Amino acid sequence: MTEPVKDRIRADVAVIGSGPGGSVTATLCAEAGYSTLLIEEGPDLPLDAMAHFSGEEILHKYRNAGVTMAFGHPSVTYVEGRCVGGGSEVNRGLYHRTPPHVLEQWVASHRVDALTPDELAPHFEACEATARIAAFPGTPPPLSQRLGDGAVRLGWDAVAAHRLYDYEAGRKQSMSATFVPRFRRAGGRLIADMRAQRIRRINGRWEVAVLHRSGPMVTIVADTLFVACGAVQTPALLRRSGFRHNIGNSLRFHPMLKAVALFDAPVNRPGDPDPVHQIKMFEPRFGIGCSISSPAMLALALAANPAMRARIGADADRMGLYYVQNGTGHGRVRALPGSRDPLVSVRHHDIELDQLYDGLKHLVRALFAAGAQAVQPCLPGFGLLYSAAELASLPARLSRKAAMLTSVHVFASCPMGEDRRLGATDSWGRIHDAHGLRIADASLMCGPTIANPQGSVMAIAHRNALHAIERRFA
Ligand SMILES: Cc1cc2nc3c(=O)[nH]c(=O)nc-3n(C[C@H](O)[C@H](O)[C@H](O)COP(=O)(O)OP(=O)(O)OC[C@H]3O[C@@H](n4cnc5c(N)ncnc54)[C@H](O)[C@@H]3O)c2cc1C
């Protein structure tokens, strides 16, 4: 149950956005004894309110029913969760800690204090104690195993990734199942269906103008304010409110290219567990993995390949959808006057697209090594391939027009660090020259996480919230 809406709500600490960053932050503040309010634009729905990856879920738990676009040449279609728990409710919960080489790079590029793997380890451990992670028990489903087998046959390494998942209970460890209940047990107040419109500083406190879905405008007044709306909406809200310094200038993605493999035997049965295999040995150039391969997801991926798409009805159980992704794409977020949604733009260097295309060719090779009869790259103008040898017939470079990029990972729009020329905040998420105003989400990353990002978002939010509480939010 969320609380009834009043005109003016007072709290010691307010957190805007209930994704992994916001939920972890709000929980620690409530447990430290501060009256803490967590507000969320989307609805408060149980984890199992609707089937995972169903059209209904996309309609109710995604922003703009899953249709959001970063404009560029090529553009990137990306998705964001918009519900209590944010992206953690709609994702697969594939889990990795931030790779040490990524942390080293952030410390060097943005001068972030106290961000070595050893310094971050206790925060990973603390988050993993509440949102539990586990390896797949037994043999992963065939669609997943095939990618692993293909990699091994080529002499490559594949891993079966851990997930934020309780395999015994059959339950994902999303925020609504883990940190949000802990927040409520600590006396925290959550109000859903509330969209923060603007922030301003009045009489030494932060005031947030929020609009409830049912119409009324409400003012939230807090001594300390954490903005945790995700890497696109956080800079949009801050820029709408007049904060500009390194806000929304450095958005990064993990853009993906996809391919569908057609196998000789069923690999993809309704009710199969989510796939977990990944090929990470080529990172940071690119990483390879398995996608959800329901008929709806196959149809979406094959939008530009009608011949293969037409086979879904008869052959979906023999089809698997796979991806290659890397940490490319340089984006900007700008608030548009009078528009609810920000303008997001992106540009790619040639070499970044070349690496991604090279990754797609590696993926195709792995799928043929796994026994695929045919592989369809999900790109306009690309035909069905019947052997790895046919890769030689593909264009040497991927044209910008043909690059159909999608992404589910966004970050780094308001990076942290002591280097003020690059950072929007200091090393702990404090926005420069705005006492009591902090960022607590994926925006703070100093670049792509390369690995799946949710673990990094949670651990860094945990680190920063403890640091704030220990210093009484000074
Ligand atoms: C389909 C999908 C699959 C993914 N798969 C994985 C995976 O397997 N593993 C992994 O590690 N990561 C995965 N991710 C990424 C992961 O979910 C994100 O990195 C993570 O959720 C980011 O957390 P966050 O707190 O920064 O923001 P979010 O999770 O985006 O949460 C922000 C919240 O703030 C709310 N909000 C926004 N604006 C406002 C406003 N103005 N007022 C009030 N509330 C607002 C939003 O509605 C949202 O609920 C996936 C993401 C998606 C979408």
Instruction: Give pLDDT tens digits for 105-151.
Output: 999 999 999 999 999 999 999 999 999 999 999 999 999 999 999 99
pLDDT at residue 270 in the model: 87
Task: Tell me the pLDDT of the chain averaged across its residues.
Answer: 96
Average pLDDT on 202-218 reads 92
Instruction: Spell out the residues 6+ positions from residue 381 whose beta carbon is closer than 8 angstroms to its own.
Output: 304, 402
In Å, the largest CA–CA distance within the chain is 70
Q: Confidence class of residue 248 from pLDDT cuts 50, 70 and 90? A: very high
Mind listing the pLDDT tens digit for each residue in 299-352? Answer: 999 999 999 999 999 999 999 999 999 998 999 999 998 899 999 999 999 999
Q: Using a 6 Å cutoff on CB, does residue 342 contact ligand 1? A: no
Q: How far apart are CA 324 and CA 258, in angstroms?
A: 6
Average pLDDT on 431-442 reads 96
Average pLDDT on 423-447 reads 97
pLDDT at residue 3 in the model: 65
pLDDT at residue 381 in the model: 94
C-alpha 83 to ligand 1 mean position (Å): 9
pLDDT at residue 319 in the model: 98
C-alpha 165 to ligand 1 mean position (Å): 17
C-alpha 230 to ligand 1 mean position (Å): 6
Q: How far apart are CA 312 and CA 299, in angstroms?
A: 7
**Encoded tokens for 428:** 């702990």
Listed in order, strand segments (DSSP E) in 215-286 are 217-227, 251-253, 256-262, 277-279
Q: State the closest ligand 1 atom to the C-alpha of 84, by its place in the atom list counted from 1.
A: 49
pLDDT at residue 156 in the model: 98
Q: State the closest ligand 1 atom to the C-alpha of 89, by its place in the atom list counted from 1.
A: 17
C-alpha pair distances (Å), 464 with each of 131, 263, 428, 470: 18, 47, 5, 10
Q: State the closest ligand 1 atom to the C-alpha of 195, by its place in the atom list counted from 1.
A: 42
Which 8-state DSSP code applies to residue 326?
Answer: -
C-alpha 66 to ligand 1 mean position (Å): 12
Mind listing the pLDDT tens digit for each residue in 400-428? Answer: 999 999 999 999 999 999 999 999 999 99
Which residues have a catalytic role annotated? 409
Query: Which residue, 339, 472, 457, is CA-closest to 81?
Result: 457
Mind listing the pLDDT tens digit for each residue in 39-96? Answer: 999 999 999 999 888 889 999 999 998 889 999 999 999 999 999 999 999 999 999 9
pLDDT at residue 53 in the model: 84
Q: Using a 6 Å cutoff on CB, does residue 91 contact ligand 1? A: yes
Q: Confidence class of residue 274 from pLDDT cuts 50, 70 and 90? A: very high
| CATH number listed for the domain at residues 8-44+86-133+174-249+413-470 | 3.50.50.60
Contact 176, 147 (CB under 8 A): no
Contact 24, 178 (CB under 8 A): no
Q: Which of 219, 409, 413, 464 to mutate to test the pocket of ligand 1 (most atoms within 8 A of CB)?
A: 409
- What does the domain layout of the chain look like in residue ranges? 8-44+86-133+174-249+413-470, 142-167+255-407
Contact 298, 258 (CB under 8 A): no
Q: Using a 6 Å cutoff on CB, does residue 17 contact ligand 1? A: yes
pLDDT at residue 76 in the model: 97
Q: Does residue 1 have a pLDDT over 60?
A: no
The string of DSSP codes covering 273-296 is PPP-EEE-TTTTT-EEEE----HH
Q: Using a 6 Å cutoff on CB, does residue 409 contact ligand 1? A: yes
